Amino acid sequence: MKEFLIILFSVILIDNLVLSKFLGICSFIGLSKNLKNAMGMSAAVIFVMFVATAVTYPIFYGLLEPNGLSYLQTVIFILVIASVVQILEAILRKAFPPLYQGMGIYLPLITTNCAILGVMLINMTEGYTFLQAIFSSVGAGIGFMLAMFLFAGVRSKMEHSDIPHFMRGLPITFVAAAIVSVSFMGFKGIIENLFG
Amino acid sequence: MNILLLTGSVFTPAIIGGAVALVMGIAIFIIFKLFAVKTDPRVDEINAILPGVNCGGCGYSGCIGYAEALASGADVDSTKCTAGGEDTAAELAAYLGVEAGLYIPKVAHVYCQGTQDHTKKRYEYTGTLHCASAHGLYSGPNSCTYGCLGFGDCVNVCEFNALYIENGIAHVNHENCTACGKCVDACPKHLIHMIPKHEAATVCTCSNHWPGAVTRKNCSIGCIGCTRCVKTCPVDAIHMDDSLAVIDQMICIHCGECVKVCPTFAIRQGLLSGPGTTVDNSVIQKAARAKEKEKVSAKVAE
């Protein structure tokens, strides 16, 4: 139990996907304009994280590793994740139309999201067991959600603030992202103190 | 599960990679066939009729949303597109084979005329130039807390360039306005309303609910709630909401009687047709009053 808690804490707070590992920045910047978009995107990420791990883990340990093809993981994972997202999209469109409309464009966007591929590759390098890998992926998704929510809040506050002219638009967004990222640095060492 | 013994050869990665790709390809093919969703071809055709400005005036999220609702029969009213107007409504009705409903063109109207000449400033506002932020600071700097702040939140959201700020209050360019309703939502004071587009639309252009004495102190052109218009109206289109006269635009027959009796010029008749052109009601009103005076003096003389 403790090891799962450690994995969860570390992927959500310390090695936060967006704010510490700078993975998935494009969707983080692009879809954090309001809370509704942030919610849709992070829900889609958590969902795809779970499914992608469930698919890539058996492929890696069942097919690639025994044949000494670990070096193929990047290519195969890209292929598999893209296909799985496509299949999920088709199933969702038919079976759960409201959910499909809610996720909208965010689901196909995930096809080429570096965050998903990054987490899959990290899971394999860390040598996690299947359950640990699932925890790590879903945790990373929750971490993404946390970062999105915090940043969406910051950005909605920025809408009505007096920003210097040359900083308006993207520059101030990046600066704000940097400051939010600094706040996550404060979590360094939390694991040692909690579980150490 | 060492399925291939050709280790070390180029065939292993090629075959395994190919096999994964093939399996995924077949899986996608089967899933897409199994879960195929039939889309209505009429949606695209209806969408082609719509103006495609995605303003949301119909109440749906963009033109495609309205097209879907029409195609599926969830909505049978073909007159909802405010940007397209009467032509679009007729075209949609013809396409769908339904009877074209009565299309009433609407237009945005700012219910305030408290320009800088008519109102005072309570304090000097130096914050962000947004109505929403100014409204957050003690309801804004204007002496009338119901009135237009003039920072142009409505101008910013308008996609048709139909609003402009002049003399500290918002005005509508009625030729550009498509009645999409974005400004109605954007105004923190809820001053903008959609009214039927009529050349001689008669509106009590004021939104303050204060009693007359308070209104007089803070704005020289506001409605003071004297109820003279209510008594004059021949069709009972005017009612009082606290101390504010409200004219029901669907009942109003544009006779202009209320314009003549309004002591503060709060009631105005006629739409502005573009920047710079204003209908000066005070001329009509003064003329009407002069005539009344003449009548009275004539009676006295008799």
ipTM for the complex?
0.76
DSSP state at residue A13: I
Instruction: Find the range with the poorest average confidence among B35-49, B83-97, B188-202, B272-286.
Output: B272-286
Please say if the pLDDT value at position A146 is more than 80.
yes
Give the pLDDT confidence score for residue B280 in this predicted structure: 52
CA separation for the pair A121, A56 (Å, rounded):
10
Nearest to A87 among B7, B27, B132 (CB): B27
Tell if the CB–CB gap between B17 and A76 is shorter than 8 Å. Answer: yes
More confident residue, A72 or B301: A72
Nearest-Cα distance to chain B for A51, in Å, is 15
Q: What is the CA radius of gyration of chain A?
A: 18
CA angle (A152, A156, A159) in 5-degree steps: 140
Distance in angstroms (rounded) separating the CA atoms of residues B171 and B152: 10
Q: Which of B1, B17, B28 sits opposite A75 (nearest CB)?
A: B17
pLDDT at residue A2, rounded to an integer:
83
What is the nearest CA distance from A16 to chain B, expressed in angstroms? 31
Residues of A in contact with B130 (CB under 8 A): 160
A-chain residues within 8 Å CB-CB of B28? 83, 86-87, 90
Q: If you average pLDDT over residues A185-196, what whole number do you get? A: 79
**What average pLDDT does this structure show over A131-145?**
93
Burial code (b: 16+ CB inside 10 Å, e: under 16) for B18-29 equals eebeeebeeebe
Could you tell me if B32 lies within 8 Å of chain A, comparing CB atoms? yes
Helix A35-59 and helix A114-126: axis angle, to 10°?
Answer: 40
pLDDT at B277 over 60: no
Q: Where are the domains of chain B?
A: 42-96, 106-290
For residue A81, give the nearest of B68, B66, B208, B20 by alpha carbon.
B20
Give the pLDDT score at B207.
92
pLDDT at res. B283: 58
Nearest residue of B to residue A73 by CA position?
Answer: B17
For A68, the closest chain B residue by CA position comes to: B7
Start-to-end CA distance of chain A, whole Å, equals 15
**Which of A22-36, A169-183, B134-148 shows the lowest mean pLDDT across its residues?**
A22-36
Q: CATH code for B106-290?
A: 3.30.70.20
Taking the mean position of all CA atoms in its chain, how far away is CA B268?
A: 19
Sign of CA dihedral B63, B64, B68, B71: positive
pTM recorded for the entire structure: 0.60
Chain A partners within 8 Å of B17 (Cβ):
72, 75-76
CATH tag, B42-96 = 1.10.15.40
Tell me the per-residue pLDDT of A73-131, one tens digit each, with 9 for 90 and over: 888 999 999 998 888 888 888 877 777 776 667 777 777 788 889 999 999 888 899 99
Q: What does the alpha-carbon distance between residue B235 and residue B95 come to, in Å, rounded to a whole number?
A: 39
| Residue A13 C-alpha, separation from nearest chain B C-alpha, in angstroms | 34
Contacts with A62 from chain B: Cβ below 8 Å: 1
Residues 6+ apart with CB under 8 A from A94: B35, B36, B37
B101 compared with B123, residue with greater pLDDT: B123
The answer, for A105 touching chain B at a CB cutoff of 8 Å, is: no
Count residue pairs from A and B with Cβ separation < 8 A.
57
Q: Give the best-scoring range by mean pLDDT among A152-161, B39-48, B219-228.
A: B219-228
In degrees, rounded to 5, the angle at the alpha carbon of residue B36 between the alpha carbons of residues B30 and B38 is 160
